[in-house]
Amino acid sequence: MRDKYADKNAVITGGSSGIGFATAKLLVDGGARVVITGRSRTTLDAATERLGKNALAVRSDVASLPDLDALAARVRDELGTVEALFVNAGITTAMPFASTTEEMYDESFAINVKGAFFTVQKLAPLLSTGAGVVLTTSAANVMGMQDVSVYAAGKAALRSMARSFSRELLPRGIRVNAISPGPVDTGILENTMTKEAADRFKADRVAENPMQRFGTPEEIARAMAFLAFDATYTTGTEFVADGGITQL
Ligand code: NAD
């Protein structure tokens, strides 16, 4: 709908690709002003070129608290208040539990867990009454999947944070929910695995999924926008969009 998000301001971490980009596109097309973040200036610039003048890109690493402080200051200057915060930035670390290194563990938790926690903490002062926060978990957080023990544990931590943040932000009328995507083909796998490992992983995911397919970034974006803007009697929950893999 053309003006569904008119007068709404949104911030999307990791918004230059995949699910984050699809969410930015949905909101901008509906009239919102959107700030997207990421670590690469080139990728961010390419994304804003596709999104148009209602999107602004801020280079900001979610694992860096000074970057998050700078992001909050920039968002305050550019948007003033925020009606929807999408905590979407994340990386997949695929490695058997036995060979996972301390470095892999620390990087995964620094981005996926610490990054999410402080993104919400730093941007919370800008959230308006009735605003929605969406944390991005994963079907992996409730499954015993092969080779993603660190990633899955981090996403389970985010599921817990959705409840705790909901409690603490409720006095301000702010709702916090999680979206739990199943397999979505966005390129995230190829960014963090070899091509062979990614192909194998993808074939396994399709074979085991009740819908026998991957989800699209646009399907997840619609669910995220629903949680942020339409689910006004819902807080602390995790909305599952995974082709049924964790439910059937
Ligand atoms: P993606 O790689 O396209 O998106 C991740 C984004 O996060 C990228 O834009 C990347 O630049 C950004 N990012 C990574 N580290 C960052 C950092 N330190 N600071 C700022 N930005 C950073 O992949 P995606 O599939 O769109 O993933 C989006 C979210 O969805 C992630 O949290 C991911 O864990 C989650 N998820 C994805 C799937 C899937 O199958 N694709 C399934 C479940 C959950």
Q: What confidence tier does 36 reach under pLDDT thresholds 50, 70, 90?
A: very high
Q: Do the beta carbons of residue 89 and residue 62 sit within 8 Å? A: yes
Does residue 222 sit within a domain?
A: yes
Mean pLDDT computed over every residue of the chain: 96
Whole-number pLDDT of residue 77: 98
Q: What is the CA radius of gyration of the chain?
A: 17
Does residue 91 sit within a domain?
A: yes
Atom of ligand 1 nearest to the CA of 63: 18
Nearest CA to ligand 1 atom 16: 89
Pocket of ligand 1 (CB under 6 A): 13-14, 16-20, 37-39, 61-63, 88-91, 111, 115, 136, 138, 181, 183-184, 186-188, 191
Enter the pTM of the model.
Answer: 0.97
Residues paired with 207 in a beta bridge: none
Q: Do the beta carbons of residue 97 and residue 24 sit within 8 Å? A: no
Q: Do the beta carbons of residue 62 and residue 52 sit within 8 Å? A: no
Q: Which of 48, 88, 120, 155 to mutate to test the pocket of ligand 1 (most atoms within 8 A of CB)?
A: 88
Does residue 141 sit within a domain?
A: yes
Q: Where are the beta strands (DSSP E) in 64-182?
A: 82-87, 127-136, 175-181
- CA 175 to chain centroid, in Å, comes to 16
CA distance 37 to 15: 6
Whether 233 is catalytic is no
Does residue 247 sit within a domain?
A: no
Does residue 64 sit within a domain?
A: yes
| Distance between first and last Cα of the chain | 32
CATH number at residue 186: 3.40.50.720
Token pair 């979610």 is found at 62
Residue 49, domain extent: 9-241
Residue 40, C-beta contacts closer than 8 angstroms, at least 6 positions apart: 16, 59
Residue 1 has pLDDT above 70, yes or no: no
How large a percentage of the chain has pLDDT more than 90?
A: 90
Q: Give tens-digit pLDDT for 162-202.
A: 999 999 999 999 999 999 999 998 876 777 778 898 888 88
Atom of ligand 1 nearest to the CA of 22: 26
**Token pair recorded at residue 107:** 């990087």
| 3-state class (DSSP) for residue 201 | helix
Residue 93 has pLDDT above 90, yes or no: no
Q: Which of 118, 185, 188 to mutate to test the pocket of ligand 1 (most atoms within 8 A of CB)?
A: 188
Whole-number pLDDT of residue 189: 73
Say which DSSP state 214 is in.
P
Residue 168, C-beta contacts closer than 8 angstroms, at least 6 positions apart: none
Does residue 3 sit within a domain?
A: no
Question: How many independent structural domains does the chain possess?
Answer: 1
Whole-number pLDDT of residue 94: 86
Whole-number pLDDT of residue 56: 98
Nearest CA to ligand 1 atom 39: 184
Whole-number pLDDT of residue 197: 83
Q: Give tens-digit pLDDT for 42-84.
A: 999 999 999 999 999 999 999 999 999 999 999 999 999 999 9
Q: Give tens-digit pLDDT for 16-31.
A: 999 999 999 999 999 9
Select from 154, 236, 185 the least CA-distant residue to 22. Answer: 185
Q: State the average pLDDT over residues 239-243.
A: 98
Does residue 228 sit within a domain?
A: yes
Does residue 1 sit within a domain?
A: no
